[in-house]
Amino acid sequence: MNKLTKIGVSALAGSLAMTAVHAAEGSVSVSTGFAFMSTTDENGATGPYQFDSVIFSASGETDGGITVSAKMELDNDNPASNAGMDDRSVSFGTDALGTVTFHGHGGSGVLGQWDDMTPNAYEEVWDTTDSADRRIDGRSGDNLLTYTSPSFNGVTLKAAYQHDHSTAASQSTDLGHYADFGILVSPEMVEGLTIGYGFGELEQSTTETIDNETIFVKYAVGGLTVGYQMSEADGATATNDDESTGWGVTYAVNENFTIGYGERDYEEDTTATANTLEQNDKGIQASYTMGGMTIAGHMNQNDNVGGSTAATNDKESYEFALTFAF
């Protein structure tokens, strides 16, 4: 082996040593349960179903002080399917610089994480009854890169980027890119107050770009939590502009039992006639926890679903679930 080769091999070995991750800890968490749902939505699922999740996680630290974490989740919480891998990701971060995460599957951008930040005791007021799950949520999907900064005096910055959100298996059809940003403020002088603002841009097609925006505020004092959120999506034309406003309140009766109530108005302009009739959602929720077991449920009512006054577009639903975590 000549001298130059020896130097190259030594440099490579040194770089690998610098990036070696010390085995620190790993864990497996399992949850399972079953639920019964009923809805007047003809496109919605009705009846009992099982849901389960197995999460494998591991983390360690390199010689350079970088924390490396990996997560894989096997999940099926959809009564209409038998889904497999729900989420897989790898993260790199430090206390001083924040955390970068690459989501190979199942990731959510800032607005995807903040699609509904109003407090609830179980599920959102639009859940179950509205089969379309109409909400302004930016982008979620595969091969998504996210960043979360450390907290600077109660201020946290967030960002996400996806190179191509094409659903083509070959990824040969580039519909464009997606990026969003957010700022989360929890002022130290007002304990329990959280304010968030996020915005993003999605290239929906080669001819249309949609701008998404949301702002929310939550305040918790004692067992009471209240919240309010406004979201908006602006498309290329007035017939592709959606708006959403909602509020919610929860009260922890004790450390095990929580009740909640919320309402939301959603205006969806997606037709040539620019239908501006609001969809009105409201619901009550409750949850009770005993160790690793949780009993929860909600009752929701949705009027004028999709902006239509037809009697069939006024829907009701309820769901009750029993969950075990190990």
CB half-sphere exposure, 207, CA atoms < 13 A? 1
Contact at 8 Å (CB) between 69 and 62? Answer: no
Distances from the Cα of 207 to the Cα of 59, 80, 166, 287, angstroms: 43, 34, 15, 45
In whole angstroms, what is the distance from residue 217 CA to residue 203 CA? 28
pLDDT for 260:
98
Contact at 8 Å (CB) between 258 and 232? Answer: no
Beta strands in 163-240 (DSSP E): 178-185, 193-203, 209-221, 224-234
- Residue 64: φ, ψ to 5°: -85, 5
Per-residue pLDDT of the chain (326 residues; tens, 9 = 90+): 444 333 333 443 444 444 556 656 899 999 999 999 888 765 556 788 888 899 999 999 998 889 999 999 987 765 555 456 678 899 999 999 999 999 988 888 999 899 899 999 999 998 765 555 566 777 777 889 999 999 999 999 999 998 865 444 434 444 567 899 999 999 999 999 999 999 998 876 667 788 899 999 999 999 999 999 999 988 766 666 788 999 999 999 999 999 999 999 988 765 544 556 788 999 999 999 999 999 999 999 988 877 777 767 788 889 999 999 98
Taking alpha carbons only, the member of 179, 137, 178 closest to residue 266 is 137
Domain boundaries, the chain: 41-325
Cα first-last separation, the chain: 55
Q: pTM (2 decimals)?
A: 0.82
CATH topology of domain 41-325: Porin (2.40.160)
